[in-house]
């Protein structure tokens, strides 16, 4: 069965500092991995994804994520946080072997960036 | 593109009433998803369609819930009768999926959601 874990309910970081939002996953095969962001009263917005190839994936708004197969992790990172990055972040996984579109989302991590 | 459109944005109804949520996916997308988001259960996939055909409805909680997609540009999620525990934010999302063996690697585009309150 597929599952996604986001071990931190909230991450606090000062503006200008690097940020990391953690994600680990479990799938029976090879995964497609995604990060989405949700601002208050809005739908989820796609940030980036890992499909194949380079383990370091770059996405929108300066975010990047590193796929680590041995650790089954896909942590979201940004070198310098902005106050406007404060939002709810979701990691998601899809088993590419299943052939379907069923995506499992993590519980979400709230990022708070302090000025 | 206007993105995924959902209506209404807010719905307040009394227990026992029928509720219909509507969604217009992004033009050209061939997959459509309905999700429910609550504090307790997070984001749950209810059902998804491919080319207007339901593919997986295993997430639909009860027979009170039904979803249809009569054409490529419109879908509804209906709850009849509604109950207070159905109160949640319901999201519709769409995705492109046709073409290659990497089809299921495509990301989803979410609408703004419908906040449903059942009293």
Structure tokens at B20: 């219909």
Burial of residue B104 (number of CB atoms within 10 Å: 0-12, 13-18, 19+): buried
- Tell me the pLDDT of chain A (115 aa) as tens digits: 788 999 999 999 999 999 999 999 998 778 899 999 999 988 999 999 998 888 999 999 999 999 999 999 999 999 999 999 999 999 999 887 765 778 899 999 999 999 9
* Interchain pair B113, A46: CB under 8 A: no
How far A26 CA sits from the closest chain B CA (Å)?
A: 17
Task: Give the residue among A102, A103, A108, A93 at the shortest CA–CA distance from A38.
Answer: A108
The 10s digit of each residue's pLDDT in B67-100 is 999 999 999 999 999 999 999 999 999 998 765 5
Q: B86: which DSSP letter?
A: G
Q: Which of A32, A44, A102 lies nearest to residue B105, judging by beta carbons?
A: A32
Helix (H/G/I), strand (E/B), else coil: B9: coil
């Amino acid at each position: 069965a597929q599952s996604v874990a986001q071990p931190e309910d909230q991450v606090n970081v000062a503006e200008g500092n690097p940020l990391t939002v953690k994600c680990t996953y479990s799938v029976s095969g090879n995964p497609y991995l995604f990060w989405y962001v949700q601002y208050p009263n809005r739908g989820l917005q796609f940030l980036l994804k890992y499909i194949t190839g380079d383990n370091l994936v770059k996405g929108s708004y300066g975010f990047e994520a590193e796929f680590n197969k041995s650790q089954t992790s896909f942590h979201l990172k940004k070198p310098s946080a902005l106050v406007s990055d404060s939002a709810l972040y979701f990691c998601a996984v899809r088993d590419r072997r299943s052939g379907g579109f069923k995506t499992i989302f993590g519980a979400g991590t709230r990022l708070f960036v302090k000025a | 593109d206007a993105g995924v459109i959902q209506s209404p944005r807010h719905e307040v109804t009394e227990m026992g009433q029928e509720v219909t949520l509507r969604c217009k996916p992004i033009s050209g997308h061939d997959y459509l998803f309905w999700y429910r988001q609550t504090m307790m259960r997070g984001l749950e996939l209810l059902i998804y369609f491919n080319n207007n055909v339901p593919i997986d409805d295993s997430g639909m909680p009860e027979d009170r819930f039904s979803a249809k997609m009569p054409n490529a540009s419109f879908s509804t999620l209906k709850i009849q009768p509604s109950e207070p525990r159905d109160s949640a934010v319901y999201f519709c999302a769409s995705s492109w999926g046709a073409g290659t063996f990497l089809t299921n690697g495509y990301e989803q585009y979410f609408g703004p959601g419908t906040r449903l309150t059942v009293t």
